[in-house]
Amino acid sequence: MAELIALSPAGAALPKRIGAVTLTEAPFAPMTGISPHAGEVAQVSAALEAAHGLALPGPGRMLSGAGIEVLWFGRNRWLLIGAAPGDGLAAHAALTDQSDAWVSVIVQGAAGVDVLARLVPVDLRPRAFAEGSVIRTELFHMPAAIARTGAEDLRVMCFRSMAGTLVHDLVTAAEAVAARG
Amino acid sequence: MRLKTGGLIDRGTALRFRFDGHDYTGFRGDTLASALLANDIRVVGRSFKYHRPRGVFSAGSEEPNALVTIGRGAGAEPNVRATMQELRADLEARPQNCWPSLHWDLLEVNDWASRFIGAGFYYKTFMWPRKFWEWVYEPAIRRAAGLGALSGAHNPDRYEKAYAHCDLLVIGAGPAGLMAALTAAEAGADVILADEDALPGGRLNGERATLDGGAGSDWAAAAVARLRAMPNVRVMARTTVTGVYDQGTFGALERVGHHLDDRPRGLPLECFWRIAAKRAVLAAGAIERPVAFAGNDRPGVMLAGAVRTYLNRYGVAPGRRVAVFGNTDEAHRTAADLVAAGVHVTALIDARPDARSTLSVPFYPGGVVTGAEGRLGLESVRFEAGGRSQGVMADCLAVSGGWNPNVHLTCHLNGRPVWDDGIAAFVPAPGAVPGLIPCGAAAGVFSTAGCLADGARAAAEALGGLGLTAPDLPQPEAEDAPYRIRALWAVPGKRRAWLDLQNDVTVKDVRGAAQENFRSVEHMKRYTTQGMAPDQGKTSNLAALAVLADATGRGIAQTGTTTYRPPYTPVAIAAMGAGAQGKGFAPERRTTSDQASRKRGAPMIEAGLWYRPSYFPKGGERTWRESCDREVGWVRNAVGVTDVSTLGKIDIQGPDAGAFLDFVYTGTFSTLKPGRVRYGIMLREDGHVMDDGTTACLGEGHYLMTTTTAAAGPVMRHLEFVAQVLRPELDVQMVSVTEQWAQFAVAGPGSRDFLNGVLDAPMAEGDFPFMACGEVSVMGVQGRLFRISFSGEHAYEIAVPARYGDALFRALVTRAEGMGGGAYGMEALNVLRLEKGLLTHAEMHGRVTCHDLGLSGLMSSRKDYIGRAAAARPGLVDPERERLVALHPVGIEKRLLPGAHLFAHDAPAVREAAEGYVTSACHSPTLGHPIALGFLKSGPERLGETLRMVDHLRGVETWCVVRPLCSYDPKGERTRG
Amino acid sequence: MRLSCPICGERDRREFHYGGAALERPAPEAGAAAWDAYLHLRENPAGRSRELWYHESGCTAWLVVERDTVTHEIHGVTLAAGGR
């Protein structure tokens, strides 16, 4: 029997370079939603540290290790990226596979902040949104998560089904920024 | 006339432009207005109502007269203020509101008839016959009156919206604003300095007064350069702050592309900014006000400050023989600037009897202008001084009635300005906008030195609120003249004296309003239209309310102002709605099968934000019905595949997950065993049905809820509400997994065999009975299988991680086609469920109960749940309520239409006799005739009864018979088998 | 308008969904009058009001917001579920 071929959410729409900004789709990585059961945040953090070497970050923050990231992802919610959840987590938290739920686009370049200022109602300049910061917010009309993964790197995550609109919105904004010179 | 020297223009860069069909030349740094004046163009447009010739009146955004249309074709932009349009190469501008030409306008007849068409004339005149109003009067009036017109074509220009954030927003870059910005920037605050002008500096660019012995404009330029170089400052020129909103939110319009000779591709014309500022300093300056006298609207009559701006900033003399009229020292300053520029000043008329002048120009203290003459432009001025009426030649009259602080933004949160007798003007009320500090001329401080000091003071106050310390910046030396005014609004006289140039409102009109008892300033505004339209009365409001105060025997403070509302200056709808057209209108949600479906020619229909295939046409089929009927036949007889990924999927886990579900569903879910699925109804707390769907138990304390496509978002919000607000003690976690899974329904008598061909381990006999679920491996991928049916057939839904959705859909469809079936779309899906009497939101439309839907059996009596108390209200369980039934056609014309109303067979088709309505209808290929669902009073008790179905909108009347809900396989043997 | 989410900090109003007055849900057997009041009767105060807001496109916390309907001043925002 034929095997099922996996497709990425943005597919051929990316990468793109517009002015001083590049838009690239992040490669596939396993993602697991982690929601600790009542009163068990500490246990989950300990189990996570034991399994992956990273504790649960506080609100609005992310932690990175070797190929692994843990993002604060909302009220009592975190996202483990880059590895299947280790043993010991399931006992203390609701785990859900989210590997396919998001399209992740890396917006790279100093003008990335200006591009996203066209779409996102939150201050993403480094002084307000330093490396390791994460927010849940809106990108134009869509729910989004945004993380600063580097001095000039922002990762934008939207629902997979909206990948086409995300690319459209980012490209439109980037063109306008680029045209200002 | 262009002066030989002077001005802040670039005389090395000449720019050709076109106005009213003629070519002219100006310089870089000109506005269209200054370039027109430099070319001695005096008439630039016709007035709103009387079509009187009008000329440039001001040098800023308050301009009431010089409105022009820029450009041609679809992108033409009407009502552009010539004073705000920077000159660019090959700019094309056209005058407005004139026909056949600017200098010979037929509707000037309105002016001759003006004594009959004063304010309020159409309220009184065009009353009868009544139907003439809509078809004759209004169109004629709209054609005759008005401003420029839009092209009517799709706007080809790009606009943009953006967000900005700062500690301190400084509004206005005159002396006060620059000083405030410098002070805050040096203190390390994150500063945005927004200025309306292309060249920041405010009045410093328009005056000859010096700062530290140098030109004021040089000081401004240096200050701006210093600010631009600081990393914590963002200078936004060409940006008008248009509105103040709650908690430090400001709206601002930036003119991005209007001034460029060649606009780069993708560059927006304008950007509408939403600025969130912790503190703000309002240094928006003041607007000069005119004085009303007979003929004061003639081209050549200008604000005195504007005359100085044209002289000093643009090197343009607005006239060759200029008279000056004022009631403050501004008049003297203007005369002095004119003399210095070598322009002949024919009279300096100062309303203050005690005024002194050292200038060698004819000086008339205690004088007032009584008339301005000249048809297409000012020729002479009449005035009274020392009890004597006299005339003087003048092609320009500079008028100053004093200055009005720009209080607008302080009033957007309902603040009311305060009257200050000392300057005869309104000033901002203290604390009118939390966190916004008015300073400089906007706060009634009119000297340059005063503004500089006040700007620093305001910044220090703002910095204190931000926890920062203001540095002690040296203040440049500047003029510090006192402001002495003798309030003067209108010179008495019999002839028409204009208050509102943009709306053609005269002193007589305002007095007339008072006479007709429109005494409130708001009523006067609406009766006369004073203060409406693009300029919102920036140069006329105060004089109009002073005249009203006088006519009603009240003081100005007592009369009060009209309400100031955003935007301060006009904002194009295109800017406010920027980006939200075409693909930007709403997100498109695409399923993983989207490409494959489109490739098969399926027309896509919108379901919420999702796109779903309507049907999959095959060669030879001429209508959608043929395709739909075929697809229904596949499912009924073989096997069909359809994408159901759009349904909401919510993963619910935790020790109390079962108790939580019991609380949100009418039925009991805590007893559901792992591997089983149950259908549930969710009510709103008011007892009406919110949504339905199945919930599967995936393991101990682990459930997967499905919602309808449209309700996925609201249900998620509702579940979080229940978990956080109503039942925070429950240990339950939930998260949407809608996007994680691609899910396909496989339906039809052949579905089990079909699936066994794709599952890595075929189902054994007895595996997956009806309403079972479990994990499966499908073509090497871990997935989930649910034995559920929305078609009435033996059916499954199979789910795989979304990255495999495209591949699985293609494989399933290919395989189904090999078994005499294939993909089916939304049309067939709808027919299949209607044949079974299953529900969608056409039925669960928000006003129905379980009782109405025949689902009372799903309401547990052994537990509390959302909506239980309210659902028990007698009115919601009344047997006579409209309840759901199926309808089949009888008679010759077999048609059933959703939206049609139901009547007893012998009742008249009138509202009072209505007994129900049709919610959904389709042609059933299985039964060979149309079927419908509908709500009918006491419906289930009236099976077999024949009803009238009347659709007044479509003009259709037929007969139908009441049938049980399920029209196909009522015992469910095919579903379960 | 901006609201300070106790988890996310100050955010633009567009991230939030208004959820009506913050009220106690009556007991199931509280009777028709109590349920009628909960479902349909609202104070509509000119002044301080206690409202529910949902940080829908943010952290998904339901919030209790004390707000003045006249001045639009926000006096406090807390998590509806308590804690932080």
**In the β-sheet with B648-653, what is the strand arrangement from edge to edge?**
B677-683, B689-699, B702-707, B648-653, B733-736
CB-CB under 8 Å, C81 with B870: no
Could you say which of C7, C15, C61 has the minimum Cβ distance to residue A137? C15
Helix axes B216-228, B175-186, angle to 10 degrees: 30
Q: What is the pLDDT of residue B492?
A: 95
Cβ neighbors of A76 (< 8 A, separation 6 or more) are A35, A36, A41, B733
CA dist., res. B719 & res. B711, Å (int): 12
CA distance B98 to B96: 6
Domain spans of chain A, in order of start? 11-28+100-180, 31-97
Architecture of domain A11-28+100-180: 2-Layer Sandwich (3.30)
Closest Cβ–Cβ partner in A97, A161, A176 for B267: A176
Name chain C contacts of B247, Cβ cutoff 8 Å: 1-3, 10, 72, 74
CB nearest B579 (choices: A35, A100, A140)? A140
Q: Which residue has the tokens 């920036």?
A: B538
Domain B159-286+405-466 and domain B290-401 have a common topology: yes
For B643, the 3-state DSSP assignment is strand
H or E stretch covering B224: helix B216-228
In angstroms, rounded to a whole number, what is the distance separating the alpha carbons of residues B721 and B730?
Answer: 12
Q: Band the pLDDT of B533: cuts 50, 70, 90.
A: confident
Cis peptide before B889 (omega within 30 of 0): no
| Neighboring chain B residues of A92 at a CB cutoff of 8 Å | none
Cα distances (Å, whole numbers) of residue B496 to B51, B490, B505, B592, B618 = 15, 11, 9, 72, 76
Using one digit for the tens of pLDDT, what is the confidence trace for A122-153? 999 999 999 999 999 999 999 999 999 999 99
Q: How far apart are CA B733 and CA B652, in angstroms?
A: 6
Are A144 and A158 a contacting pair, CB within 8 Å? yes
> Residues with Cβ < 8 Å from B300, sequence gap 6 or more?
B42, B55, B318, B319, B372, B374, B377, B378, B394, B395, B396, B397
Distance to chain B for A123, nearest Cα, Å: 6
Contact B720 C12 (CB under 8 A): no
Between the alpha carbon of residue B687 and those of residues B280, B639, B711, B839, B851, the distances in Å are 49, 39, 17, 18, 10
Domain ranges for chain B: 1-156, 159-286+405-466, 290-401, 488-554, 604-646+740-833, 649-736, 878-977
Q: Which CATH class is domain B1-156?
A: alpha beta
* Region of residue B805 (left: phi > 0; alpha: psi -120 to 50; beta: else): alpha
- The radius of gyration computed from the CA coordinates of chain C, to the nearest angstrom, equals 14
How near does any CA of chain B get to the CA of C44, in Å?
20
Sorted by sequence, the CB contacts under 8 Å of residue B874 that are 6+ apart come out as none
pLDDT digits (tens, 9 = 90+) for B318-349: 999 999 999 999 999 999 999 999 999 999 99
Q: Domain segments of chain C: what residues?
A: 2-79
The total of other beta-carbon atoms located within 10 Å of residue A104's CB is 24
The yes/no answer on whether domain B290-401 falls in CATH 3.50.50.60 is: yes
- Judging contacts by C-beta atoms under 8 Å, the chain C residues touching residue B249 are 1-2, 12
pLDDT in tens, B748-776: 999 999 999 999 999 999 999 999 999 99
B739, A159: Cβ pair inside 8 Å?
yes
Q: pLDDT tens digit string along B631-648? A: 999 999 999 999 999 999
What's the mean pLDDT in B486-514?
95
Please report the ipTM that was assigned to this predicted complex: 0.98
Say what the pTM is: 0.96
pLDDT of B145: 64
Higher pLDDT, B91 or B123: B91
The CATH class that applies to domain B878-977 reads mainly beta
For domain B159-286+405-466, which architecture applies?
Answer: 3-Layer(bba) Sandwich (3.50)
CATH architecture of A31-97: 2-Layer Sandwich (3.30)
Q: In terms of CA atoms, which chain C residue is nearest residue A133?
A: C8
Give me the residue from C2, C52, C56 closest to B249, CB to CB: C2
pLDDT in tens, B227-281: 999 999 999 999 999 999 999 999 999 999 999 999 998 999 999 999 999 999 9
Rounded to 5 degrees, φ, ψ at B254 are -105, 130
Neighbours of A, requiring at least 3 CB pairs below 8 Å, are B, C
Burial A141-175 (b: 16+ CB within 10 A, else e): bbbbbbbbbeebbbbbbbbbbbbbbbbbbbbbbbb
Alpha-carbon distance values, B206 to B60, B369, B484 (Å): 11, 25, 21
- Residue A110 has a CB neighbour count (10 Å cut-off) of 11
- Residue A179 C-alpha, separation from nearest chain B C-alpha, in angstroms: 5
Q: Kindly state whether C2 is in contact with chain A, defined as any CB-CB distance less than 8 angstroms.
A: no
Q: Say if residue B94's pLDDT is above 60.
A: yes
CB contact under 8 Å between A161 and B653, yes or no, is no
**How many residue pairs from chains A and C have C-beta atoms closer than 8 A?**
38
In 3D space, the residue among C48, C61, C49 whose CA is nearest the CA of residue C17 turns out to be C61
| Contact residues, chain A, for C60 at CB < 8 Å | 74-75, 77, 136
Q: Say how far apart CA B833 and CA B886 lie, in whole Å.
A: 12
Question: What tokens appear for B292 in the block?
Answer: 């009303």
Mean pLDDT of the region B10-19:
98
**Does residue C84 surpass a pLDDT of 60?**
no
Distance in angstroms (rounded) separating the CA atoms of residues B773 and B718: 26
- Is B825 buried (19+), middle (13-18) or exposed (0-12) by CB count in 10 A? buried
Q: Which residue has the tokens 């203001």?
A: B470
Q: Does C32 contact B873 at a Cβ distance shorter than 8 Å?
A: yes
Give the containing element (helix H, strand E) for B544: helix B541-552
Nearest Cα residue in chain C from B251: C1
CB of C61 within 8 Å of a chain A CB? The answer is: yes
pLDDT (tens digit per residue) in B120-130:
776 776 667 77
Chain centroid to Cα B383, Å, comes to 49
Chain C hits for A157, Cβ within 8 Å: none
Exposure string over B303-329, b if 16+ CB within 10 A, otherwise e:
bbbbbbbbbbbbbbbbbebbbbbbbbb
Q: Which tokens sit at B359?
A: 């200038």
pLDDT at B225 > cutoff 70: yes
Summarised one tens digit per residue, pLDDT across range B173-218 is: 999 999 999 999 999 999 999 999 999 999 999 999 999 999 999 9
Half-sphere exposure of B386 (CA within 13 A, CB side): 5
Name the CATH topology of B604-646+740-833. Gyrase A; domain 2 (3.30.1360)
The pair of three-digit structure tokens given for residue B113, joined into one six-digit string: 């008839």
pLDDT greater than 90 at residue B48: no
Q: Closest Cα of chain B to C77: distance in Å?
A: 14
Distance between CA atoms of residues C69 and C52, nearest Å: 14
A-B CB pairs within 8 A amount to 147
CATH of B649-736, one of 3.30.70.1400, 3.40.50.10860, 3.30.70.580, 3.90.650.10: 3.30.70.1400
How many CA atoms lie within 13 Å of B615's alpha carbon, on the beta-carbon side?
20
Instruction: Write out the two tokens for B854.
Output: 């025949």
Query: Does CATH number 3.90.1570 belong to domain B488-554?
Result: no
C7/A contact by beta carbon, under 8 A: yes
What phi, psi does A166 have (nearest 5°)?
Answer: -60, -50
Q: Under 8 Å CB-to-CB from B156, ≥6 apart: which residues?
A: B74, B75
Q: What is the pLDDT of residue B110?
A: 79
Contacts of C57 in chain A (CB under 8 A): 136-138, 143-144
Please give the C-alpha separations between residue B843 and each of B242, B649, B835, in angstroms, as whole numbers.
46, 21, 14
Cα separation of B729 and B719, whole Å? 14
Chain B residues with CB inside 8 Å of A96's CB?
651, 653, 735, 737, 740
DSSP string of B443-508, one letter each residue: GT--SHHHHHHHHHHHHHHHHHHHT-----PPPPP------------B---SS-BEEETTTTEEHH
Interface test with C, best of B725, B863, B876 (most C CBs within 10 A): B725
Contact A120 B163 (CB under 8 A): yes
**CATH number assigned to the domain with residue range C2-79, chosen from the 4 options 3.40.50.150, 3.30.2270.10, 3.55.50.30, 1.10.1270.20:** 3.30.2270.10
In a mutational test of the B interface, the residue from C35, C52, C74 whose CB has the highest number of chain B CBs within 10 Å is: C35
Going by C-alpha positions, the residue among B444, B443, B447 that lies closest to residue B431 is B443
The Cα angle at residue B525 between residues B141 and B195, in degrees rounded to 5: 100
pLDDT value of residue B144: 67
HEC letters along B550-599? HHHCCCHHHHCCCCCCCCCCCCCHHHHCCCCCHHHCCCCEECCCHHHHHH
Interface mutation vs chain A, best among B163, B743, B755, most A CBs within 10 Å: B163
Handedness of CA B705, B708, B709, B715 (dihedral sign): negative
C-beta atoms of B724 and C61 within 8 A: yes
Could you tell me the two tokens for B767? Answer: 């595996």
Res. B728: pLDDT tops 70: yes
Q: For A9-58, how does the pLDDT look when each residue is reduced to its tens digit (9 = 90+)?
A: 999 999 999 999 999 999 999 999 999 999 999 999 999 999 999 999 99
- Report chain C's mean pLDDT, rounded to a whole number: 95
Give every strand in the sheet of B604-607, ordered side by side. Answer: B589-590, B610-613, B604-607
